[in-house]
């Protein structure tokens, strides 16, 4: 059974997780689909980018100027935002950051992605949220695991209470890489490779040579569980952005002119 549903209000199509309906009064988590021209190119002018949030902010009934979107650089940098940061939020001034954490209400944490893995965290006991962008590079930097460490050590969360939601991203079947990237995964996850099928050999070749498949979804799930997140608290929508290229933006499908999907999480 699907653990998500899609809301179409004529302005946007938004993916939401069934599990979070029970926290409806406390929290919102929504991921935009590419319908209604809600995608955008990250590098475009910031004012144009802001207009791209018109529909999404109307659908969620939030102020688009208050959306906090960091400049993602495939780092493992995560910023904890306090009340003061939220008040001082100037549109798009957080640089070099791929994850945001807060316990402040009405702090609209956004990240964008097109094949990269969006990880969202919610601790209903401590009322803390996190929005993490984990591309393949971020995954090798273990940004998801780092987020859990920060939730535990800086926000006093008990990992057993933390719910994790995994959004649409490129899945193993479509994530083909060459030796260079394969070797990074092999080195970084040496121990995991012994116990899990993280890297799969294929008979495929491209102009750069032999190709391999990497299961970044599995790597992220294992890392989260090693940090104490319970298996039953990980909600993966199981959607691949490449397989579902008609409804989600995908870098692999769209190439250099790719646009991005947006994931927004906030405490009400
Ligand atoms: Zn796929």
Domain ranges of the chain: 4-171+217-267, 176-214
DSSP state for residue 59 in the 8-state scheme: H
Q: Which residues, 6+ apart, have CB-to-CB distance to 70 below 8 Å?
A: 79, 92, 94, 95, 96, 97, 98, 100, 111
CA of 147 to the centre of ligand 1 (A): 26
Q: Which of 159, 102, 99 is nearest to 135 (CA)?
A: 99
CA of 228 to the centre of ligand 1 (A): 29
pLDDT on residue 1:
86
3-state secondary structure of 142: coil
Residue with tokens 């940061």: 85
- Cα–Cα distances in Å, from 171 out to 233, 240, 243, 250, 261? 20, 5, 9, 11, 16
CA of 243 to the centre of ligand 1 (A): 4
pTM of the model: 0.95
CA of 169 to the centre of ligand 1 (A): 8
pLDDT on residue 44:
59
* DSSP, residue by residue, 120-143: EEEETTTTEEEEEEE-HHHHHTTH
CA of 114 to the centre of ligand 1 (A): 13
CA of 238 to the centre of ligand 1 (A): 10
> Distance between CA 262 and CA 39 in Å, rounded?
8
- Asked if residue 98 lies in contact with residue 88, where contact means CB atoms within 8 angstroms, the answer is no
pLDDT on residue 42:
60
Written out in words, the top-level CATH class of the domain with range 4-171+217-267 is alpha beta
Torsion of the alpha carbons at 33, 34, 35 and 40, rounded to the nearest 10: 120
pLDDT on residue 259:
86
pLDDT on residue 92:
65
> Which tops the pLDDT comparison, 266 or 39?
266
CA of 171 to the centre of ligand 1 (A): 5
Residue 111 has pLDDT above 80, yes or no: yes
Residue 251 has pLDDT above 80, yes or no: yes
> Distance between CA 178 and CA 122 in Å, rounded?
35
Tokens of 168: 């649409």
Q: For residue 194, count other CB atoms closer than 10 A to its CB.
A: 8
Average pLDDT for the chain: 93
CA of 200 to the centre of ligand 1 (A): 15
Residue 43 has pLDDT above 90, yes or no: no
Segment 254-264 shows an average pLDDT of 89
CA of 116 to the centre of ligand 1 (A): 13
CA of 252 to the centre of ligand 1 (A): 10
CA of 46 to the centre of ligand 1 (A): 31
CA of 148 to the centre of ligand 1 (A): 27
């Amino acid at each position: 059974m699907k653990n998500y549903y899609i809301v179409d209000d004529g302005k946007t199509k938004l993916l939401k997780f069934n599990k979070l309906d029970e926290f409806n009064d406390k929290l919102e988590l929504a991921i935009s689909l590419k319908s209604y021209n809600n995608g955008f190119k990250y590098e475009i002018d910031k004012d144009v980018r802001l207009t791209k949030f018109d529909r999404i902010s109307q659908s969620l009934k939030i102020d688009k100027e208050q959306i906090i979107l960091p400049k993602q650089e495939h780092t493992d940098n995560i910023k904890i935002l306090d009340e003061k940061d939220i008040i001082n939020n100037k549109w798009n001034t957080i640089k070099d950051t791929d994850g945001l954490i807060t316990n402040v209400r009405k702090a609209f944490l956004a990240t964008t992605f097109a094949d990269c893995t969006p990880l969202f965290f919610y601790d209903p006991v401590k009322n803390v949220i996190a929005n993490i962008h984990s591309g393949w590079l971020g995954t090798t930097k273990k940004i998801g695991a780092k987020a859990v460490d920060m939730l535990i050590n800086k926000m006093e969360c008990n990992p057993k209470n933390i719910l994790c939601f995994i959004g649409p991203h490129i899945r193993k079947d479509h994530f083909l890489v060459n030796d260079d990237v394969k070797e990074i995964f092999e080195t970084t996850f040496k121990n995991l490779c012994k116990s899990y099928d993280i890297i799969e050999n294929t008979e495929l070749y491209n102009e750069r040579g032999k190709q391999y498949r990497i299961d970044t979804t599995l790597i992220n799930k294992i890392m989260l569980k090693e940090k104490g997140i319970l298996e039953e608290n990980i909600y993966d929508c199981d959607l691949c952005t490449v397989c579902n290229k008609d409804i989600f933006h995908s870098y692999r499908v769209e190439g250099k002119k790719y646009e991005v999907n947006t994931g927004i999480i906030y405490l009400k």
